Structure 1
Amino acid sequence: MDLRRFITFKTVVEEGSFAQAARKLCCTQSTITFQIQQLEQELAYPVFEKVGRRMVLTPAGKLLLPRVRELTRVLDGIRQISSREEDIAGDLRIMVGETLLAYKMPDVLRLFREKAPKVRLSLQSVNCYVIRDSLLADHTDLGIFYRVGNDDALHMEYFGQQELVLVASPQLQHVDFTQREQHIPVSFIINEPQCVFRQIFESALRERKITLENTIELWSIESIKQCVASNLGISFLPRFSVLRELASGELQELPFSETPPSITALCAYHAGRTVSPAMNMFIDCMHQCLD
């Protein structure tokens, strides 16, 4: 089989259309159409079907896509054999949890850029469940997030337990969350419902039969901290994300439990995939910066 046809197939999926794939591959749209037709003839099944004006993957095409991605990763690995670090190239897709991206990853990203400047890095900040599902579906190369279950299909490298802390403005430092069966007239300021530390906090409140005034949902951790410092409510965040505010006195830690709850930070990839040189380099940079 002609490997170029598989690359064309993958490019059409990633770019979203035959026309965009033609621009990416510097050829005509008719060439793209011909290569896809040749691929379908070789495979003896269609990989695209027309729905309205759009070309979408057939069920067989959806099954083929992860295998083609694996094939292109193997080819990248072959090209990189015996290459020097500065010659590592290719694409690297990474999904990162928002707090980890903001407070843990800048040093890692700077080091990676120094060591692998030719790698085309795609970075996306999403919640931990989306990251896990994307890894399981082989839609991303690496996921950096907090553990949200036991997935045998993922290879995981751990980067420590991250302690969680309940914070408020100095004006609310008298509020006591250790007492059971009470209503506390304050707002809980946090991000979306699938946030891991939000789930831990709300589970503890249900167990203690504590109710709050309401919940304010914000996406940005910086916005959450500013609102808490302005006495608009309390929040429950990884300690590393509020170290500066705790040290300056802008925020106060509230008692919550005898043993501080924690979450596990990790970097993961699909256990069945070939690890590219770029993936290896990024994981190595994480160990250098975070261990």
Structure 2
Amino acid sequence: MIRLSYWVTPILAGTVWLATLLALLLYWAVSEDYIQYSSMNDGQQIAYISDIGASDLKPLFVTGCVLTTVFLDISFAADRWLRHKGRLAPNTTTGEKVLSGLSIGFAIIGTVGLILLSIFDTVWQPNLHNIFLLLFIAGYVISAIFICWEYQRLGKHYREHRILRLSFWIKLTFVIVEVLLAVAFVACTFTRNSNAGAVLEWVIAFIFSFYVFSFYVDLYPAAATKHAPHQLRAKQQQQDQQDQQDQEKQVGAAVAPAPTMRLTRGDGAAPASRYVAAGEMEEGGSSDATLDGNATSGGAPSFEAARVAHGRRSGSRSRAMASNF
């Protein structure tokens, strides 16, 4: 049974982009019979994507660019979110999180460039169109570099996840190929080699669709971890819960009331009446029986009374001995 999950977004983005490119190319080749548009240079026989996109199919071109970039940006955000939640191999360092954020940021820059180049077409605003075209290419290439860097670090930490290395090599291949083609495209543009430049633009655009599809490889494992977070994330959550419980125990021990001192003799609690004789002695109101240690409370002699009586007897003997001298 197929589980629909976040991997659907790159499939949608790549399908929309590929369908837009094929629609433009087939429209120019079949319906228009290789017509030469007004935006094409003299001697140019192959139309640029922007030449066809500035014609009657401009609404289709704009819609395709918007949908492609929106779904692709959702894929970038989904990758970051799923790693944060532990449904994909989570980031282990702050550096990996920074690389992920940079890849999302430059992808947004590429999104802005692609949408604006489709709006400011090459017929009415050629200079703005070229600026946004460079912004689109540079944004997504730099974004791919950062995400390759992130996956390379993840692959070193999670060597058991071969899919991370596979995704890394796919994206690294895209970066190398697209950079070389982009350099050649810019060179053809400045040398006014329009036919070669047009071919390179179409090749770059089609390769970009495969780059978009590559995010399926990254997001598909999340379909199997909807109810089972990543092992390391689960362990981290258990450790956090244990640390929280230990902290609560420490706080509870710190605020617990100090034990009260119990004045006892032996195993039983000493009743207050056993200390009455001592209180009477201090007040000068004790009786001779108390002083002789014979006062009892519930049949038990008073320790304080016995101590005082012993002291008086010792004093009496001392006075008797003194009188003999």
Question: TM class by shorter-chain length?
Answer: under 0.3
The structure whose residues are more often helix, as a share, is: 2
TM-score by length of 1: 0.23
TM-score by length of 2: 0.21
The structure whose residues are more often strand, as a share, is: 1
Which has the higher Rg, Structure 1 or Structure 2? Answer: 2
